[in-house]
Amino acid sequence: MLINELKKEDNNINLAIKKISLLVILCVTERSMRKVIFAAILMTILFSLTACFLLDSSQSVRSGNVQSTDLASIDIAGLRLGLNRNEIDLAQFSPSTAINSTYDIIFQEVRLRIGNVDDITYILGFSINIDGETFDNIEQIKMVLGEHYNEYSFDKEQDMRAITYTDRENNIALTIVYSNTSNAFIWAILSMV
């Protein structure tokens, strides 16, 4: 279902980009100053749409065709997927003044999305625990979870990369963002797929 929604969004964005490109070509061929300025504005919009789409797609789950990895023993900031929001001890987290409509609950250490039945469906956090052990280096995490992941560039300007593991049995994805220079763990996203 998520894949179909992403494909629809991709098609809509591609259609919009094609229409704007056509308008730009028509305006530039006319060569009037007003039309050239209009074409420049349209090109700016085109590049903005493209950048937004690329940023959004770089942050989505990329599970691909890799073997499934058991992710049931993973927690982020002490939280697991499926935990009911009423069972969380919120006093353990530092309040955040950040305003973001993407998340239902925001703390300095963790950001959460809550599902229809008050269960956690998405966790973004800055510490990852696997079988009770905390890791701070991507190579350590790869040694524990194995080589069944997709790896990709996450943010080229900041030299950040990401890997995504998928647990098909439990419908869980784990995306880990890390520094390409130092291999230091930066943050992890644990989500239902």
In the predicted structure, residue 51 carries a pLDDT above the cut 60: no
> Are the C-beta atoms of residues 185 and 77 closer than 8 Å to each other?
no
pLDDT (0 to 100) of residue 123: 96
| pTM (two decimals) | 0.66
In a shared domain, residues 28 and 89:
no
Residue ranges of E strands in the chain: 74-76, 105-106, 110-114, 120-125, 128-130, 133-135, 150-155, 160-167, 172-179, 185-192
Is residue 68 a part of any domain in this protein?
no
Average pLDDT, integer, range 163-189: 96
In the predicted structure, residue 1 carries a pLDDT above the cut 50: no
pLDDT (0 to 100) of residue 31: 63
In a shared domain, residues 92 and 155:
yes
In a shared domain, residues 7 and 51:
yes
Is residue 63 a part of any domain in this protein?
no
In a shared domain, residues 51 and 80:
no
Structural domain containing residue 180 = 74-192
Tell me the pLDDT tens digit for each residue of 111-155.
Answer: 999 998 889 999 999 999 999 999 999 999 999 999 999 999 999
What is the domain count for the chain? Answer: 2
Position with higher pLDDT, 165 vs 37: 165
Average pLDDT, integer, range 34-52: 59
Is residue 27 a part of any domain in this protein?
yes
For 23, 112, 114, 142, 191, the CA distances from 119, given in Å and listed in that order, are: 47, 10, 5, 28, 12
In the predicted structure, residue 35 carries a pLDDT above the cut 70: no
Average pLDDT, integer, range 73-97: 91
